[in-house]
Structure 1
Amino acid sequence: MTQGVDGADQGRRRGQGELEAALFRVLGRAGGPVTAAWVQENFDGELAYSTVITILSRLHEKGAVTRVRDGRSYLWTPAADGAGLAALRMRRVLDREADRDAVLASFVTALSPHDEQLIRSLLAGTEPQPGTDPQPGASASGREG
């Protein structure tokens, strides 16, 4: 199979999350508000206009894109970058769980030392230092400090 510009294999059915991410990337390349027709035209592959509208509407419901009326249609803009979209997905998963504390604890204990240090820096309100290693001996499974 060939791979398109949006990173998905052509000729196979995409999952909903893959299609959302692919359309989100197209929208992000626009450089400003665009119509669904523009997104459809700039998508690498065949996609029905109704599918583009459906996916953009889902992204809007999730807060990942904004839209403003332009005549009888909408102009669409990303509300966040790719990292923001991934964070939104993570929050949605967390919101569906009955025991948030257990899910967060499990997540944190599985972090790499680098990721743990990054989270510590963010929670402390300090700027993480690019390329710095976490403190020796600190790990997600053996808490220090």
Structure 2
Amino acid sequence: MKKNIDFIGTSCNCNSSIFTVISGSFRKHLKEIYFLKDFLKKNHIAVLSPHGEKAINPDEEFIVLDSDVIDNPRILQDSVFAKIRRSTFLVVANIDQYIGKAAVMEIGYAIAIGIPVYTLEPVSDPNLSPYCSNLESVFPSIKKLFEVKELKKQLINV
């Protein structure tokens, strides 16, 4: 059976007119990124990327998701760029202020084409921070939501 390939996010099966891509470390923070994706979807934001449910190679440097029909890093990155072009804004899941190399590249790309960038946490890098706004300024409940999630994670690890 042939998979339906949607490299540029032309269909999202949604009624939203606001689109975003979530950038962040899929290797370090994929669970949190999917948590953020659910939050955005509940707030009527269509998330063009990431898709899928899990990483198929969680221990490797370049993460491939179960929804990716190919594993070529350049083609996958180009598809993310196409989805950023289609986005209303870019969301960066900079958990613990970590921004990986691909996320920095995606931030730069969004800035270059005039797409606003919103981050989960404040950005300390003086080259990036003037271009980034806090996601909490648009969604005030996001901070409390992630604080509750962090508290639950700490309780589970006790």
Q: Which has the higher contact order (CA 8 A, sep 6+)?
A: 2
> Between Structure 1 and Structure 2, which shows a larger proportion of strand residues?
2
Q: Indicate whether the TM-score tops 0.5.
A: no
Query: Rg: which structure is higher?
Result: 1
- TM-score, with structure 1 as normaliser: 0.28
> Between Structure 1 and Structure 2, which shows a larger proportion of helix residues?
1
- TM-score, with structure 2 as normaliser: 0.26
